[in-house]
Structure formats: structure tokens, C-alpha cells
Amino acid sequence: MAISNAPLWPFVPVAGWSRRFVRAKGSYLYDDTGRAVLDAGGGAIVINVGHCRDAVIAATAQAMQQLTYVTPPFETPERTMLVSKLRDNWLPRGIERVHLSSGGSEAMDAAMRLARQSHVAAGRPERRKFIGREIAYHGTTLTTLAAGDHAARRQGLETLFPDILRVPACYPLRAPGGRFDPDCGAQAAAALEALILKQGPETIAAFIAEPIVGSSGGAIVPPDDYWPAVRDICDRHGVYIIADEVMTGFGRTGRNFAADHWQLVPDIIVSGKGLAGGYMPIVGVFARDEVVLPLEDAGWPLMFYTYGAHPAACAAAHAVLTILEEEKLVARVAGLEPEFRAMLEDKLKDHPHIAEIRGQGLLWAVEIVRDRETLARFDEAAQITAKVVAAALERDVLLYPGGTGSQRDIVCMGPPFIVTEAELARIADTLCTAIDVATGRKPGP
């Protein structure tokens, strides 16, 4: 047998991510030495009902006993049950069409295809331009990387991207008018309208944004006037809104969708990490009827992915949503928010390297800076985020690294919705210690 120096896993090694996990239960992962690690990031902000719940496993197994695979356009009981539940209990009124893929990147790509095909089929072929925002991540296909603004993940690929326009993020901490400028929402919305007018409204297909920015920015919540203003602008100019709620949907921020905080009804919502809570790969593209009807009338499919709407994934998602409903976990997330905020503030509000503690529901982040007066960041080479995550993992708490490279030193938290108050306190405490270790205020490990 050939001897290879290549690692068995992962494809390209990631510094600090070297534990071997062999099982999980509830809010904990267990490594091969039996050590329990508190899953404070819910993996990549995915786990919501907790790990390895019998009801989800049983529903998934049962679906697999019934049916191995059938191409996505065919009805199966798992597919129709899931879509009924989504329409009855989860999706905003007016959003009725459900397309299912197996990952967020694929789903965002499908949403962009849908927006473009909808305009073309409706007789608006000139609407071909998309507008994304700075500090955004929408996935790793070439089109979704182009729509986002994640410097680290775009490296070496720039020549391959389609042209996508970009407006500033709505980022209160670093608002152009100064820290927490109350006009920053209105200004960011005005920048969007100015770009639409400059380009010609009749050429714009869609505006793509996360209603609350996930890990690329670190739980950036816009002021309350931002999304209503954006909805108004997009309505006036016939521009679809594609809300990327891959990370924020299904209760993560204390509402079904982050858009619900502002009664925003997008034209297309993409959401999925929480849809099956990590049990199976499934992400939804949810659209208003008016967006889909032109394709239907033209006889165009929205081409499926082979593994989209897999019956076992639909069954897992249905079981996860049932747990969220029966255990009222979205309300629990909203209820835990003030307590977790207070815990984080108690530990970190006056910390010399913390610029902001921010979040909503159970999606939280801290932004670490070298100088909290000027908001100057540490050098990229200092690798602060990686050091914080490593120091916390030493203490058996798994955080989720955020940032984009240029936007950096963001550490995210997204624990399962079943997390206890004692566990939240442990997360806040460990985060504080890990930041002290990473910034040299305390000796490591």
C-alpha cells in the first residue's frame, strides 16, 4: 500500500481544530477520550433542538425504510408533510412556494436563479443585476461568493466571479457618521436607493442581504428603520429582496425568521441550518407566489439538485420543527436573550479589548479590538479569533469563529435552544477567559 503524508482529515488542515468527536447528546459533544465539550456554537450555528434526539432519529429512519430516493419533483408523504407544516406554522404570510436543496450555498444559488428567471419569464429581461452588501457571506458557489463579501473565502478566485454590485452593510458600531449614529439605518438604505437609481432601476433583479448578519459580521443587528426603508425602496423600484436567513431562520433570533423582527416579508427567503437542526442536509428557498408564477406560466422548472428534498431529510426537518413547536423553543430563545445579554455584559462590557457585544435571541458575537477607543483591530497575523476559539476549546467550550479576514476578531455563539442558564453562564465565563488568554492578559492555555 502506498504511504501518504496527506492527512486523513480534513482536506486542508485547520489550526486548532484537532479534536476527534465520536458522539453527542443534548448540548454536548464527546471526544474520543470521553471529554464532554459544550457546543456553544451549535456546530456552525446549526444545532437547535439538541444532538441525537430519539424522535428525529426515529422519523428519519422510518423515512429511509419506506423510500431510498425519488427525484425531487415527485410528491412523497415526507415532502408534502414538511411543506404543509412550513406553510401552516413557519413561513410569513404571502410566502407559499417551497423549493428544497441540501445546503445553503446551493439554495442561495437557486434563489438567484429564481429571481433572474422570474424577471425574464415575466418579460423583464433587462433586470439582470444583483446588489449584495459588504460584510456578507452567502455561500461558496462562484455566484454566491460573488454576491457575498468574504475576503478570506474569495482568495484566488476573483477572476471567476460574475459582476455583482455592492452597497455598504448597515453596521452601527462602525457607521460612517460615527459609532452608533442613529441615522445609520436611513443612510445605508439611502445608499441602496442611490445605487439602484444610478444603475437604472429597470436593470436590477434583486437585493441580497442577511436581515441580521450572521458569522461574517458577527450578529450585526440593524436599527429598526433600516428594513422597512429597504422594503419600501425595493417595492418602488420593482427589485426583489432575497433574504439570506440560512443562519438566522427557524427561531435562532427569537422569531421564526429574523425578518419578522421588522415585519419584513421578503420576496424570497433562503433558510436552513435550523430547518433540520443539523440532523440532515436540507435548506429551503421560500418564495412568494408572484415570483414563481412567471416560471410556471413559461413552463420553466427551477432545476432541482439531485439530493434536494431527500425524503429522509424532509422527515428529519418535520420532526425538528415538531419539537420546536411542542417545546415552544422559539419563545424560549426569546426569553433567554436578556439573560444571556446580561451575562455577557457582566463579564465583558468593560473589557479593554471588547468593542461590542451584540446579538439577538441565541445568536451572539463579540467584536475584539486592539484599541476600544479608536476601534483599531489587531493585526491579522495575531490570529486573535483562532486563539480565542482554541483557548475556549482547551476549556471544553466550542465557540464559532466569525469574520471575513478584513472584518475580523469576531467570535460567535449560537448554542442549542435547550441550553440551560448555567451553561450560558459557563459560555460567558469561558469566553472572557479565552479572550484574556488570546490577547495576552492572562497566561495560556
- Chain residues binding ligand PLP by CB under 6 A are 44, 103-105, 108, 137-139, 210, 214-215, 244, 246-247
Shortest reach from residue 355's CB to ligand PLP, in Å: 22
Shortest reach from residue 436's CB to ligand PLP, in Å: 28
- Residues near 367 by beta carbon (within 8 Å), at least 6 away in sequence: 173, 218, 354, 355, 356, 358, 409, 410
Rounded Cα distance, 365 and 399, in Å: 10
Cell of 231: 422594503
Shortest reach from residue 45's CB to ligand PLP, in Å: 7
Shortest reach from residue 146's CB to ligand PLP, in Å: 13
Query: ω before 10 within 30° of 0 (cis)?
Result: yes
Closer to ligand PLP at the Cβ: 248 or 433? 248
Closer to ligand PLP at the Cβ: 12 or 381? 12
What does the angle CA 261 – CA 190 – CA 104 come to, to the nearest 5 degrees? 50
- Per the CB < 8 A criterion, the answer to whether 119 and 127 are in contact is yes
* Alpha helix stretches (DSSP H) within 220-372: 226-237, 289-298, 311-326, 329-348
Shortest reach from residue 240's CB to ligand PLP, in Å: 17
Residue with the CB atom nearest ligand PLP in the bound state: 104
Closer to ligand PLP at the Cβ: 104 or 415? 104
Closer to ligand PLP at the Cβ: 60 or 216? 216
Shortest reach from residue 214's CB to ligand PLP, in Å: 4
Q: What are phi and psi of 196, to 5 degrees?
A: -60, -45
Query: ω before 352 within 30° of 0 (cis)?
Result: no
Closer to ligand PLP at the Cβ: 169 or 343? 169
Shortest reach from residue 210's CB to ligand PLP, in Å: 5
DSSP tag of 212: S
From residue 225, give the alpha-carbon distance in Å to each of 47, 189, 207. Answer: 31, 9, 17
Shortest reach from residue 104's CB to ligand PLP, in Å: 2
Closer to ligand PLP at the Cβ: 239 or 242? 242
Task: Calculate helix-pair angle for 421-438, 329-348, nearest 10 degrees.
Answer: 40
Neighbours of 62 (CB within 10 A): 13
Closer to ligand PLP at the Cβ: 258 or 343? 258
Shortest reach from residue 237's CB to ligand PLP, in Å: 24
Closer to ligand PLP at the Cβ: 276 or 428? 276
Rounded Cα distance, 338 and 399, in Å: 20
Shortest reach from residue 114's CB to ligand PLP, in Å: 16
Task: Calculate helix-pair angle for 311-326, 329-348, nearest 10 degrees.
Answer: 70
DSSP string, 345-360: HHHHTT-TTEEEEEEE
Closer to ligand PLP at the Cβ: 210 or 267? 210
Q: What is the β-pairing status of strands 400-402 and 363-368?
A: unpaired
Closer to ligand PLP at the Cβ: 138 or 231? 138
Shortest reach from residue 320's CB to ligand PLP, in Å: 16
- Per the CB < 8 A criterion, the answer to whether 173 and 410 are in contact is no
- Contacts by 146-154 with C-beta closer than 8 Å and gap 24+? 147/108, 147/112, 147/208, 148/216, 149/216, 149/404, 150/216, 150/404, 150/405, 151/404, 151/405, 151/406, 152/403, 152/404, 152/405, 153/404
405 Rama class: left (phi>0) / alpha (psi -120 to 50) / beta: left
Closer to ligand PLP at the Cβ: 177 or 405? 405
